[in-house]
Amino acid sequence: MSGTGKSTVVGELRRRGYTAYDADEDGFSEPRSEGAWGWQVDKIRDLFARCQSHLLFFAGCSDEQALFDFDLKVLLTAPEPLMRERLRTRQTNQYGRDEGEMERILADLRQVEPLLRQTADLVVETTQPVGEVADRILQRTARLPEPESG
């Protein structure tokens, strides 16, 4: 969901030297009808094909995520009051400041997040410092098998 800290975690992973992308901020999302956003599936497939030989983090939330077989699905979550505050004050983009957008995000929090929890391999509440969030994710990725060399 918007406001859970995806962009912040991507920034922390990049700071540590990992390859990490944010679907919205890195140009992998585009507007859809009725104010929704969706992923540009072909661009993402190309990115994944180019990065098969190393660890790649890709942050985002879209209906199209069901088209991809991720090695690890991490759900970042935050309490509603914190999400509201983050959306009102964030500097990276304006999405969520408009009352209609805010309500759409909060509706997704109530309706979509429970579905995402069911398929998540790891759920991390982002009320803790971003370094600790990144540490939890990296600890879990250390258990992934190494990619086959080809």
Summarize pLDDT for 87-142 with one digit per residue, the tens.
Answer: 777 777 776 677 777 788 788 788 888 888 999 999 999 999 999 999 999 999 98
Decide: helix, strand or coil at residue 122: strand
Summarize pLDDT for 42-86 with one digit per residue, the tens.
Answer: 999 999 999 988 899 999 988 899 999 999 999 999 898 888 788
Place of tokens 């679907």: 23
- For residue 124, what are the β-bridge partners? 76
Q: Does domain 6-141 have CATH number 3.10.180.10?
A: no
Count of C-beta atoms within a 10 Å radius of residue 127 = 12
CA distances to 9, 18, 55, 141, 149 from 146, in Å: 23, 15, 9, 10, 9
pLDDT value of residue 129:
96
Q: Which of 21, 87, 96 is nearest to 59 (CA)?
A: 21
